[in-house]
Amino acid sequence: MTLTKDQIREALRAVMHPSGEDIVERGCVMNIAVCDEHASVRVCMTQGDPGAPQPAREQLAKVGAVIDSCVRAAAKEQGIEDLGLIVDFVDHQGEVVMKLKGDAKTGGAGASKREGQQTPQNKDATGVPGVRHIIAVGAGKGGVGKSTVAVNLAVGLAKKGHAVGLLDGDIYGPSLPTMMGLQSHDQVVIEGALQPFFVHGVKCITMGKLVDTDKPLIWRGPMAHGAFNQLIERTQWGELDYLIIDLPPGTGDVPLTLAQSVQLAGAVVVCTPQKVAQDDAVRASGMFESLGVEVLGVVENMSFFIGDDGKEYDIFGRGGAQTMAQRLGHPFLGAVPINMALRQNSDSGDPSANFEPERAGGDALPRALRGMVDQFEAQVTLSQMSRGSGKPTLSIS
């Protein structure tokens, strides 16, 4: 039994805003994420009225309690007796002003279907000391924007205050030197430990700075595996909230072996909307699942294009990857538009610019990227909760 985002959205229509509209109609519901019997809702009560003062904490607590009871009632209708619910109230900048957490029990008939999936099948897989979540970004084939998503996810998480590492696991075709602007940097090694580059708020490491990228890398599987492991293990990462790994494209021997060799908390699958790309993404998702790695969500890249006339053009058939995600039961993390500034900022190694409307060709790209990062964060939290770690207790803070 699971609750869908649409069912939660419907339930939230019963929650009224002081203006007389319901909070969904008013546009106050910024984000909904669901994972098994756990859900999170992000609400901005002053949405549409930037000048309005934040409601007092007591008022927010009251609204939170109504949200909690409405969503819980909808969950009950779906047979979920004990929902884990987080309600975040945010201001216009997306800063959390109050967090409300509802308790959830585990076990019994409602136990999470993902509980058995938390350990990768490969018992030799290594964790990285001091790193909380290791997340792989994969794609069924090359050129769909996997590295672009990995880079912007890492930079977006760093912008939200997380300690983030980014590992270029695409050892045959490393993109990080260009996309993160590492050309003029030299790799530093201290007492045998690789020192990650610290750029755009992210610690990153790439094979592209250790080998001559003009020459083709003709490593066979085991050599690629060894090089990848050395990149992970010999880098002095320090304490990290997230280590994002940009995997090689496809589902062949190399991405499979690499995904298997490290203890992943989850994976993100990147896909463009076309049918052929979806078929490959289904295989990528199957690869992660066969390794016991939870797919935290799908990102639809090159979803649509905004012309100079301001119109949105669905060049590749917008929504295709979203439909595929729904069909496979994976969360949808968001749609990234085709955007010339994104391509230029990637080529010039300035991903931070993608988050600034004046350097991102308008607000559409920063909004899409921030939405993707928010959804990703929510899914990581929910996934942890559904596995029984970091379970919430009833508290208002």
Which residue blocks in 315-363 are alpha helix, DSSP H? 320-328, 340-347
User: Smaller CB distance to ligand ADP: residue 260 or 339?
Assistant: 339
Residues 102-141 that bind ligand ADP (CB under 6 A): 139
Exactly one of 44, 90, 144, 373 binds ligand ADP (CB under 6 A); that residue is 144
User: Do the beta carbons of residue 9 and residue 22 sit within 8 Å?
Assistant: no
User: Do the beta carbons of residue 338 and residue 364 sit within 8 Å?
Assistant: no
Exactly one of 117, 235, 339, 375 binds ligand ADP (CB under 6 A); that residue is 339
Contact status: 333 vs ligand ADP (CB under 6 A): no
Contact status: 302 vs ligand ADP (CB under 6 A): yes
Contact status: 346 vs ligand ADP (CB under 6 A): yes
Rounded (10°) angle between helices 221-233 and 253-260: 30
Residues 212-271 that bind ligand ADP (CB under 6 A): 249
Q: What would the x/- binding string for ligand ADP be over residues 360 to 389, using CB under 6 A?
A: ------------------------------
Q: Please, what is the minimum distance in Å from the beta carbon of residue 339 to ligand ADP?
A: 5
Give the closest residue to 220 by CA, choosing from 251, 179, 173, 254.
254
How far is CA 325 from each of CA 160, 311, 387, rounded to the nearest angstrom?
A: 26, 26, 21
Query: Across-strand partners of 203?
Result: 165, 198
Residue 291: count of CB within 10 angstroms of its CB: 18
Q: Please, what is the minimum distance in Å from the beta carbon of residue 147 to ligand ADP?
A: 3
Radius of gyration of the chain (CA): 21
Q: Per CB under 6 A, which region of 80-88, 143-151, 237-245, 371-379 contacts ligand ADP?
A: 143-151
Q: How far apart are CA 46 and CA 53, in angstroms?
A: 7
Contact status: 208 vs ligand ADP (CB under 6 A): no
Exactly one of 342, 353, 372, 382 binds ligand ADP (CB under 6 A); that residue is 342
How far is CA 358 from each of CA 117, 236, 352, 362, rounded to the nearest angstrom?
A: 43, 35, 12, 6
Tally of CA atoms within 13 A in the half-sphere of 379 that contains its CB: 23
Q: Please, what is the minimum distance in Å from the beta carbon of residue 302 to ligand ADP?
A: 5
Q: Please, what is the minimum distance in Å from the beta carbon of residue 69 to ligand ADP?
A: 40
Q: Please, what is the minimum distance in Å from the beta carbon of residue 141 to ligand ADP?
A: 8
Q: Please, what is the minimum distance in Å from the beta carbon of residue 65 to ligand ADP?
A: 41
Q: Is 279 helix (H, G, I), strand (E, B) or coil?
A: helix
Q: Please, what is the minimum distance in Å from the beta carbon of residue 197 to ligand ADP?
A: 18
DSSP state of 16: B
Binding residues for ligand ADP (CB under 6 A):
139, 142-148, 175, 249, 301-302, 336, 338-339, 342-343, 346
